[in-house]
Amino acid sequence: MGKRTVTVTGTGHAAVTPDVVRLDLRVGHDAPDVAAALAGASAGITAVGTVVREQGVADADIRTRDAGVNQRWDNTGVAVGFTAQQSLAVTVRELAAVGRILESAAAAVGNALLVDQVRLDVADRSAGLREARDGAFADAKAKAEQYAALSDARLGVVLGVAEGGAAPVGGGFKLAAMARDMAGGMPVEGGDLEITTSVTVTWELGRP
């Protein structure tokens, strides 16, 4: 007869203080042809990158996310041109600078700028992850000990451990409005951010 085992999943949490803001900024440009649409979007996102750098964001904290172009039609189904879009992911390490950055970017390209996401995050999650993993394993062990007792058995050695993944919870919000309408009036408060992780552990069950 094979070994008796018990497999349970535990969840752990850790409260951390956000110290960065992740911005996803996008610029769109309409034009009669593909080349002009791409050129306009490229010029717009370049202008956004310039003002972001002027606000003190380092090159290492700015990266291109994606770019694309789509054809446009009017309400009768007739092709009327093309829309190109380019986007940047920006990591802001000074929370108080987020409003200034959005205001400057909106001033540079007007309503062509859209803010797809503003998300609070932690630059270094290692300490929070360790705390969350400790909690997840403790939670799993407590469950396993209960099941062992209910099965009239003793919890033995660990046979396997699999992490289910970790993710920050809370502190994020999406925006799909024109940046000019919100820039300058958008304070970002750090608050608390929770890191949650889960772990699945298998123990051998022995005789009591």
- What's the CATH number where 88 sits? 3.30.70.2970
Q: Within a domain: residue 203?
A: no
Task: Return the H-helix or E-strand segment holding 42.
Answer: helix 34-54
Q: Which of 90, 106, 98, 204 is nearest to 156 (CA)?
A: 204
* DSSP code string of 43-81: HHHHHHHHHHHHTT--GGGEEEEEEEEEEEE-TTS-EEE
Report pLDDT for 116.
92
* DSSP code string of 121-155: E-S--HHHHHHHHHHHHHHHHHHHHHHHHHTT-EE
What is this structure's pTM?
0.71
Residue 111 lies in domain: 20-121+172-187
Q: Which of 114, 100, 124 is nearest to 174 (CA)?
A: 114
Report pLDDT for 178.
36
Query: Quick one: residue 41, left, alpha or beta (phi over 0 = left, psi -120 to 50 = alpha)?
Result: alpha
Identify the segments of the chain with pLDDT beneath 50. 170-184
Q: Within a domain: residue 142?
A: no
Q: Within a domain: residue 163?
A: no
Report pLDDT for 182.
44
Query: Tokens for 180?
Result: 């000019």
Q: Within a domain: residue 110?
A: yes
Q: Which of 65, 9, 16 is nearest to 171 (CA)?
A: 16
Q: At what angle do helices 34-54 and 98-109 cross, to 10 degrees?
A: 140
Q: Which of 93, 86, 91, 39 is nearest to 65 (CA)?
A: 86
Q: Within a domain: residue 165?
A: no
Q: Within a domain: residue 7?
A: no
Report pLDDT for 190.
56
Task: Return the H-helix or E-strand segment holding 103.
Answer: helix 98-109
Query: Model confidence over 85-121: pLDDT tens digits?
Result: 999 999 999 988 998 999 999 999 999 999 998 888 8
Report pLDDT for 174.
34
Domain count, the chain: 1
Report pLDDT for 186.
54
Q: Within a domain: residue 141?
A: no
Q: Within a domain: residue 177?
A: yes
Report pLDDT for 96.
85
Report pLDDT for 189.
55
